[in-house]
A and B are shown apart, each in its own frame.
Chain A
């Protein structure tokens, strides 16, 4: 589950609104359980590397499958650029494990997250009825700060591994 921080606000219509995260913000603390049973605390557990955080809609979503498969295929390039990947969705453990096996995913896949909790801390779009998170991506620097955030309100518009590698290479080359 997510730890709801101070990002949420009640809008004039009574709906909880969550400001989008901005470049330079520290990524909010999220505890997720990954396929395999490990608990991962973002961003602390991956500090020291660049990180691509991917929220995907679910294993039923073909665009999400394509994205996760692309990150899986790019594992050597991502490792050579010191980029860790972690993805999460509302899917249950069995569904998530099946996706890991199908796509031969070697990075952590968080399962069973609460879409509203995640949305409250990160500003991600949530599908109607809070049934799932829309595609959302963040690239974090070595200290867990946001280099770029990509918020989709629907099926398309998401991080791709080549773009992430290119961005991180540029940032790394300009590190002080």
Chain B
């Protein structure tokens, strides 16, 4: 009884796979084009353009080419070890510039480590460090949100001229509705998994994929999977009673949700009206799944987004699950009352 929905999902995943294939092809092309012209090579050229820089090329005992850039005038010393497919290790030593906290950052597979001493600051960049699995999950979450939006009006699509077929099947309306939701959810999860696989493939075109698994990664993965499902459930709940115009809801949902998030996290002025508006949108944003979709490191003073500590992640998972179930139930309830 969910054959038609399966066909829709198959077509959608097929298009997604084609887009992914094109991206992989593009990655291959870029890899070949920029093998000797990457960003670090550009950095080297830029440094080399300074007449005070002395450039030394050596080879390490294991065969790794090393480039040393020394600028005695501004006391900058850069060592670049090119491990080829295994990435680059760059050590930059510069005079101290005031901030004296040691810092460690990680964006994707690029690890940046800043160590301070009294007179200098050393920045070590490892371009092929481990990639925490959350990064892949974050990309998958984003793509799945798109898939969820596209799939997000199954009952409206049936109500748009097909009820005479859909409502004359030998199953109860509830069972049919749940089956459709289940099938769409599987499609979203399949897209999610496919995205991760494709992300790993694209990464491996450029460098060795090294997977990192931190203490919060599992929780983050769960929340990254639940977010698109909760978003899907919201869209279905909004469109279940519609026969026409549901496309507009699907299209406008993202911008509207982001505006709500924005209005919930900023205060336009100190007037009571602005405070009231802020409070109103803050309340609305609590039931907007995208509110719980921040990524690592983003913080806001007013609670518009949530920090990624494990207890916050756990809370996020619970809230998203509840939203998913409640919106799903609302959708099914509306479907029960639909008339041809």
Binding between chains A and B: no
